[in-house]
């Protein structure tokens, strides 16, 4: 393992003003997104859509540091025969790959899930590295509800995240460690804070046990935020303040960077929250975005599967990427959204 190189890549992934595009939707998820805009989810349409994003010159070269790909996409070629992974490299961004294989019900823990995909992961990582992937992603999901999460769900998922991270580093690939506490419930921000604290503490404990070099990873956590169904939603300032307090308490300064998931927030909320965090003074690690839906909802709508809308889709993507790039330096203002509209 060359830790200097892993650290260089991890630091580049969270460079100020840039963030990570999560374009690793599973076939099921992308079908839902396409259904919403009336586009059939065929291999060709998925390729055309992602090619449109990767060819958005402005966005990709100025505001996107890396792209998380799905297994199908990393092997696909653009319409003109160029591998999609090459388009990402040509724009100056780093290609990455989602390596988990989704979730299964966790035995003896009703309503809780465990992420799978460790079997044969070492062989898969080798192939992905040869193809050009320099970082990977594994997502654990922790749900908040009546009597959950259990300590079992938290520790089993943290153990798997750390196993995956160690395998990545052995393959000279930077692991994105993503323990996501879902915002689907009716819990308030305090409950989210408390659960996320337990999840992060357990995850870092496991990473140490399994000898993962913290200098060669990126953390992709949720923000401290109230559940979608909670009657009392926290203000932008409260989300920012609580999230930073939480991260400072749980995330060692050795970690080069933190890239948030948007987790169901609206485009503008995700941007505003990140921006507000950068107003709270200097931070021990790089702090940026790794958004999927919050970067893609607008371009998907603008494109709607039509070749003549590619330029409009790229403009919508560039706008969201720029807004989040500014937010990752604390330079975003909501008036910039109005101007674009």
Give the model's pLDDT for residue 46.
97
The bridge status of strand 113-115 relative to strand 103-105 is: antiparallel
Q: What is the Cα 166 distance to its own chain's centre?
A: 19
Alpha helix segments (H runs only) across the chain:
3-13, 27-36, 43-54, 57-62, 71-74, 84-90, 121-131, 151-170, 189-209, 236-250, 267-277, 293-303, 310-327, 334-340
For the annotated catalytic residues, the residue numbers are 178, 220
Give the model's pLDDT for residue 340.
66
Spatial separation of the C-alpha atoms in residues 319 and 172, rounded to whole Å: 33
Give the model's pLDDT for residue 338.
81
Mean pLDDT for each 10-residue chunk of the chain (341 residues)?
97 98 95 96 97 97 98 97 98 98 97 98 98 98 97 98 98 98 97 98 98 98 97 97 98 98 93 97 97 95 96 97 97 88 55
**In which region does residue 263 sit, left (phi positive, over 0), alpha (psi from -120 to 50) or beta (all else)?**
left
Alpha helix segments (H runs only) across 188-305:
189-209, 236-250, 267-277, 293-303
Q: Quote the CATH superfamily of domain 3-340.
A: Aldolase class I (3.20.20.70)
For residue 42, what are the β-bridge partners?
none
CB 219 within 8 A of CB 193: no
Give the model's pLDDT for residue 341.
55
Spatial separation of the C-alpha atoms in residues 285 and 6, rounded to whole Å: 16
């Amino acid at each position: 393992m060359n830790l200097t190189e892993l650290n260089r890549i991890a630091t580049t992934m969270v460079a100020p003003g840039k963030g990570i595009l999560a374009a690793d939707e599973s076939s099921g998820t992308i079908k839902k997104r396409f259904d919403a805009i009336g586009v059939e989810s065929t291999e060709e349409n998925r390729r055309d859509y992602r090619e449109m994003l990767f060819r958005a010159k402005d966005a990709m070269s100025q505001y996107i540091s890396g792209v998380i790909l799905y297994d199908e996409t990393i092997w696909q070629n653009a319409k003109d025969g160029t591998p999609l992974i090459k388009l990402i490299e040509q724009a100056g961004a780093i290609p990455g790959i989602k390596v988990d294989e989704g979730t299964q019900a966790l035995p003896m823990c009703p309503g809780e899930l465990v992420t799978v995909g460790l079997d044969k992961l070492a062989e898969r990582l080798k192939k992905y590295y040869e193809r050009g992937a320099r970082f990977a992603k594994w997502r654990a999901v922790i749900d908040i509800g009546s009597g959950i999460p259990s300590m079992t769900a938290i520790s089993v998922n943290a153990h798997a995240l750390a196993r995956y991270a160690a395998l990545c580093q052995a393959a000279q690939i930077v692991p994105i460690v993503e323990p996501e506490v879902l915002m689907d419930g009716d819990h308030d921000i305090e409950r989210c804070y408390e659960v996320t604290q337990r999840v992060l503490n357990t995850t870092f404990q496991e990473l140490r046990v399994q000898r993962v070099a913290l200098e060669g990873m990126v953390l992709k956590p949720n923000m401290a935020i109230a559940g979608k169904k909670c009657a009392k939603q926290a203000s932008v300032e409260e989300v920012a303040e609580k999230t930073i307090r939480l991260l400072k308490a749980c995330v060692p300064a050795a970690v080069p960077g933190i890239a948030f998931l948007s987790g169901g927030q609206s485009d503008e909320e995700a941007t505003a929250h990140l921006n507000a965090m950068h107003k709270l003074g200097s931070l021990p690690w790089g702090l940026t975005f790794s958004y999927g839906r919050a970067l893609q909802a607008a371009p998907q709508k603008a494109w709607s599967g039509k070749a003549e809308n590619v330029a409009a889709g790229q403009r919508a993507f560039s706008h969201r990427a720029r807004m989040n790039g500014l937010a990752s330096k604390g330079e975003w203002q909501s008036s910039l959204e109005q101007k674009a509209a």
